[in-house]
Amino acid sequence: MRAKPGSIILLTLLLSACSEKVPEEVAYDPAHDYFSFANTDQFITQHLELDLTVDFDTQQLRGSATLAMRKLDPNSTDVVLDTRDLGISDARVLLADGVSIPAEHRFGESDGTKGTPLIVTLPDVARSATEFRLKLEYATSPDSTALQWLPPDLTAGGKHPLMFSQSQTIHARSWVPLQDTPAVRVTYEATIRTPPELLAVMSANNDPLTPRRGEYRFDMPQPIPSYLVAIAVGNIFFVPLGEQTGVYAEPELLETSVFEFADTQEMLEQAERLFGPYEWGRYDLLVLPPSFPFGGMENPRLSFITPSLLAGDRSLVSVIAHELAHSWSGNLVTNATWRDQWLNEGMTSYLESRLMEVIYDKDRVDEERVLLYRELLLDLETVRPDLQALAPRLDDGDPDDFQGTIHYNKGQLFLQYLENAFGRDVFDRFLFSYFETFAFQTITTERFLDYLDEELLQTETSEVSRADAEQWLYQPGLPADAPVPSSSTLKAVEALATVWAQGEIEVTEIPVKRWSPQATIHFINSLPPDLANERLAELDSGLGFSATRNAEIGRTWFIQVAQRRHTAAYEQLEQHLNRYGRGRLIEPVYLALAQNGSDLELAREMFERARDAYHPLTEANIAGVLALDES
């Protein structure tokens, strides 16, 4: 996933309240998933069958989920599954000989974050079976935290409704009753019934040529964790980009998407060369409406993508490189629990930078690294020290809030450090064998550390010790010998911001058209804090920041506009908040308004006007930023 740094602030607030609750004597088990109710040491799911009807009128999915399970503990009689706001109307056990037996089921005690455990008691005749299928008839709630139901007027076409899922981190349980932990991998198949004019797509084998008749079959033969089970339904069409790659979108977005993401096939080929075989068959993109809360979501075979990447100049395709790289780090080798999330996100951010270097150039990657480093240093000033470790003790709170620059940027920096220490060739061989060794497995940070130790740290020439690696993984801040990214282009840009602010050059002499988006972002961030607002207006009318089509430049600019109370640009700032629904692009702008000492009320008014078009996750985050009590 490409996440939203704004939430790290919330995280600090939330977790500082929570962690005191854990009694010291409870032993912390890093391999245990504290965010799932499922008794995976007693039963394990191997395959999932979905049969669901998509009802746009009631905003519900209705049908059945059948879990093919294996019993690991012969004495266990109760299967515990994760659910959130699901109505379960029937549970039955299906045995190999075709016998179907009703099973007693009840809900356990609900938890505000984790949802509600569903406890199914195996009937007597099924207790000796080591393998069985558990079929649950159910319906989702219109408030499902995974599903967003968009009315026609919130889509690009404006004529048909659209729905999509976002299961990461622990939201699959709000549309499928299952063992909702990344530690369990399942294959799946599905039958999806929709209004006949719409197309359903899933993180499975989509057939672009399938006739539109309102019933679609899917098969996902590779085992994946629950957070990668994904669905979208809408007026969606397909255009190929290359032999194995293509893009799905509403017709209104197809042409621009095809232009923007034209390099996808080449990225896939380069990624295979660097990281090993692509194990998933096709790699397609699904471009969603603006309310999609993230930059992208690496649903296997079909990454879900925000339309905020459609800048018109291919300048934001690093997000595609990121989602594609997840086909190795995350989807192929998966973090065992959300506490190990740096294994997904730090590794992917590193692979993304390697891909960008091959497809584009090293200067651009260096610029990006400098910006990420700057974000990281800012967050290290505010994040609680024990949460600054890549693999902290994490047994409480909401894993959605546990997302941010520590995992992404510090994780990437750690891998960059290893690359520098061992040399690119050696480190590349390590990565290649890492993906091969742990393919289709979930691993903990500790397993990664052992493997790193065996393969690299114990080699005779290694100058990195296990203790060095442990400092990155378990200690706050950055080690003294952490790499410091630098970019000569950005240094020049910084200098230019200063000389312009001092009145030594004119706006027309700033060569912004020749710059990368990263350089422009750095220029905006390098403006002196005491710059008069008239000068900001001069800059804006000369360089057109308020009217930019590049969402990242807009984000950076409007954060500054809000922090500096440059009210002349507030109308365009509000347009930015209405145009995008991706958390990263808007949450920090709301935060800057809320914290500038004057505009909290104004921010709340803007939020009221915009919120209907936001995803529930984004909406909840912003409500938190604006200190609105929504409970």
**Beta carbon of residue 326, minimum distance to Zn ion (angstroms, whole number):** 6
Strand order in the sheet with 131-139: 100-102, 87-94, 131-139, 60-71, 43-55, 185-193, 215-225
**Beta carbon of residue 568, minimum distance to Zn ion (angstroms, whole number):** 37
Supply angle C-alpha 496, 502, 506, rounded to 5: 65
SS3 455: helix
Which CB, 38 or 343, lies closer to Zn ion?
A: 343
Site string for Zn ion, 29-48 (x = CB under 5 A): --------------------
**Beta carbon of residue 616, minimum distance to Zn ion (angstroms, whole number):** 20
Which residue of this chain has its Cβ atom nearest to Zn ion in the complex? 1
Tokens encoding 526? 């390098």
118 vs 108: CA distance, rounded Å: 6
Whether cis (ω within 30° of 0) applies to the bond prior to 169 is yes
414 vs 603: CA distance, rounded Å: 37
Cα separation values, 303 from 173, 438, 554, Å: 20, 22, 24
Which CB, 2 or 105, lies closer to Zn ion?
A: 2
**Beta carbon of residue 294, minimum distance to Zn ion (angstroms, whole number):** 8
200 vs 567: CA distance, rounded Å: 44
1 binds Zn ion (CB under 5 A): yes
Which CB, 345 or 587, lies closer to Zn ion?
A: 345
**Beta carbon of residue 128, minimum distance to Zn ion (angstroms, whole number):** 44
**Beta carbon of residue 335, minimum distance to Zn ion (angstroms, whole number):** 11
Which CB, 345 or 395, lies closer to Zn ion?
A: 345
Which CB, 1 or 233, lies closer to Zn ion?
A: 1
β pairing state of 104-107 and 116-121: antiparallel
Active site residue 408: yes
**Beta carbon of residue 325, minimum distance to Zn ion (angstroms, whole number):** 8
Can you spell out the DSSP letters for 294-335? SSEE--TTEEEE-GGG--SSSTTTHHHHHHHHTTTBTTTEEE
- Find the catalytic residue in 34, 248, 408, 590: 408
234 vs 227: CA distance, rounded Å: 21
Residue 361 CB: number of other CB atoms within 10 A?
11
Which CB, 324 or 613, lies closer to Zn ion?
A: 324
Of 200, 157, 144, give the one whose Cα is nearest residue 289: 157
406 binds Zn ion (CB under 5 A): no
Residue 486 CB: number of other CB atoms within 10 A?
11
Name which of residues 335 to 364 contact Zn ion (CB under 5 A).
345, 348
Count of residues that bind Zn ion according to CB under 5 A: 3
- Find the catalytic residue in 250, 260, 298, 323: 323
Which CB, 71 or 326, lies closer to Zn ion?
A: 326
Sign of CA dihedral 270, 273, 274, 279: positive
Residues in the chain: 631
Q: Which active-site residues does the annotation give?
A: 323, 408
**Chain contacts with Zn ion (rule: CB under 5 A):** 1, 345, 348
